[in-house]
């Protein structure tokens, strides 16, 4: 008997099999996020029910609990989110400002050392942050900056500057020098040419880079854990509060996690096409 399966038969079923396999992977990747959000809206009885209830009466009780600060977290969630917003936007602005300046210089005035300078700046991106955690902690304690916004804004912008320089340099490279030169012949100074010609043209790139830096800073955990206590504590750090002696408070915890993730999910949906480019430092568009 000959082998009954022909190449043509494989060809016919392959797309169907492919759909099933790909669908399974998509479900695997999306389900935990869905499960986090859905658990946060379940009453404490529904949350623990097995088999799981898919249709349930949604409740906001966990959100009210964490917003009022009556839950297991030592602080209400709103100040934590505000701290997160201040720290991540502050560090993003600082990184964008310093990084873009440097990127513009490296892009426009190429010299012998600029390549080495760019490489050195990029190398700080690969640095393991935990390796400098202790010295940074000691430095911040000596300066009395522990539990202040600056204690996070400065390290976060340092970790992101390399990214901004690298991305913005490629955006500046794409803008023909002739445009600036034309403007300068027409009487603009270089600074005016930069603000009137170059900046508007690189604005989409600047926004995309900023979104990335914002996501990195928003998600950062280790430095926020060691450098803040209460006043400047960011939202991710408070997660540990829900792991209590009496077990883990899953309802409040998933509500908290959903609140932290919501802005990221929205940014992700809006800027999806830049994300792979950013994560590969521009190697993949």
Partner 1 sequence: MATATIEVRSTRVSRPPVEWRPLLLSLPAIAILLIMVVYPTIFSVWTAVHQYNPMLPEMDRFVGLGNFEHAFQDRIFLDTVWRTAVFVVVAVTVEFVLGFGLAITVFYLIPRGSSLVRLALTMPMIMPPIAIGLVWRWLFDGQFGLINYAMKLMGLPPQIWLGNTTTAMGAVILVEVWQWMPFVFLCLYAGLASLASEPIQAARVDGAGPLQLLWYIVFPMLKPIILVVLLFRIIDCMRVFDIVFVLTEGGPSNGTVLYPFLIYMQGFRYFNVGYAAALSWLLVVFMSILAGLLIRMLQKGSARVA
Task: Decide: is 53 part of the binding site for partner 1 (CB under 8 A).
Answer: no
Total number of residues binding partner 1 (CB under 8 A)? 99
Per-residue binder mask for partner 1 (CB under 8 A), 84-113, x = binder = ----------x--xxx-xx-xxx-xxxx-x
Residue 261 buriedness (CB in 10 A; 0-12 / 13-18 / 19+)? middle
CB of 134 to partner 1, least distance (A): 5
Task: Decide: is 63 part of the binding site for partner 1 (CB under 8 A).
Answer: no
Task: Decide: is 114 part of the binding site for partner 1 (CB under 8 A).
Answer: yes
Q: Site for partner 1 (CB under 8 A): which residue of 87, 165, 197, 232?
A: 165
Taking contact as CB under 8 A, which single stretch among the options 54-62, 176-184, 198-206, 276-284 is the one that binds partner 1?
A: 276-284
Per-residue binder mask for partner 1 (CB under 8 A), 246-265, x = binder = --x-x--xx--xx-xx--xx
DSSP letter assigned to residue 57: -
Residues 6+ apart with CB under 8 A from 156: 87, 88, 91, 95, 216, 217, 220, 223
Q: Return the number of the residue (1 or 165) whose C-beta is nearest partner 1.
A: 165
Footprint (CB under 8 A) of partner 1, residues 178-197: none
DSSP 229-265: SSTT--GGGGGGGGEETTEE-HHHHHHHHHHHHHHHH
DSSP 85-149: HHHHHHHHHHHHHHHHHHHHHHHHS--HHHHHHHHHHHHGGGS-THHHHHHHHHHHHHTT-TTSH
Q: Site for partner 1 (CB under 8 A): which residue of 2, 8, 45, 272?
A: 272
d(CA 227, CA 133): 9
Task: Decide: is 172 part of the binding site for partner 1 (CB under 8 A).
Answer: no
Task: Decide: is 26 part of the binding site for partner 1 (CB under 8 A).
Answer: yes
Cβ atoms of 68 and 133 within 8 Å: the answer is: no
Task: Decide: is 36 part of the binding site for partner 1 (CB under 8 A).
Answer: yes
Residue 181, both tokens? 């030169």
Neighbours of 269 (CB within 10 A): 8
Q: Return the number of the residue (76 or 137) whose C-beta is nearest partner 1.
A: 137
Q: Site for partner 1 (CB under 8 A): which residue of 221, 229, 231, 244?
A: 221
Footprint (CB under 8 A) of partner 1, residues 145-164: 154-155, 157-159, 161-162
Q: Return the number of the residue (67 or 117) whose C-beta is nearest partner 1.
A: 117
Task: Decide: is 21 part of the binding site for partner 1 (CB under 8 A).
Answer: yes
Task: Decide: is 207 part of the binding site for partner 1 (CB under 8 A).
Answer: no
Footprint (CB under 8 A) of partner 1, residues 118-147: 118-119, 121-136, 138-139
CB of 135 to partner 1, least distance (A): 3
Task: Decide: is 215 part of the binding site for partner 1 (CB under 8 A).
Answer: yes
Residues in the chain: 285
Distances (CA, A) of 32 to 39, 50, 96, 247: 10, 17, 33, 21
Neighbours of 266 (CB within 10 A): 10
């Amino acid at each position: 008997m000959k082998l009954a399966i022909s190449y043509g038969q494989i060809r016919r079923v392959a797309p169907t099999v492919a759909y099933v396999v790909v669908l399974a992977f998509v479900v695997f990747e999306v389900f935990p996020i869905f499960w986090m959000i859905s658990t946060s809206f379940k009453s404490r009885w529904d949350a623990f029910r097995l088999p799981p209830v898919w249709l349930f009466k949604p409740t906001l009780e966990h959100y009210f609990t964490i917003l009022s600060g009556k839950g297991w977290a030592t602080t209400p969630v709103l100040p934590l989110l505000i701290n997160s917003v201040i720290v991540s936007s502050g560090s993003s602005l600082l990184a964008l400002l310093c990084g873009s300046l440097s990127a513009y210089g490296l892009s426009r005035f190429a010299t012998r050392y600029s390549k080495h300078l760019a490489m050195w700046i990029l190398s700080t991106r690969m640095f393991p942050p935990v390796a400098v955690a202790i010295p940074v902690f000691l430095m911040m304690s000596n300066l009395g900056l522990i539990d202040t916004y600056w204690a996070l804004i400065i390290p976060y912008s340092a970790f992101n500057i390399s990214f901004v320089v690298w991305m913005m340099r490629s955006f500046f490279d794409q803008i023909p020098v002739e445009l600036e030169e034309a403007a300068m012949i027409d009487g603009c100074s270089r600074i005016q040419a930069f603000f009137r010609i170059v900046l508007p043209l690189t604005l989409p790139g600047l926004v995309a880079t900023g979104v990335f830096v914002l996501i990195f800073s928003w998600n950062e955990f280790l430095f926020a854990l060691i450098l803040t206590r209460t006043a400047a504590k960011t939202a991710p750090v408070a997660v540990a509060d829900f792991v209590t002696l009496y077990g883990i408070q899953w309802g409040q915890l998933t509500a908290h996690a959903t609140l932290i993730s919501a802005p990221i999910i929205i940014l992700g949906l809006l800027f999806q096409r830049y994300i792979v480019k950013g994560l590969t430092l521009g190697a993949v568009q």
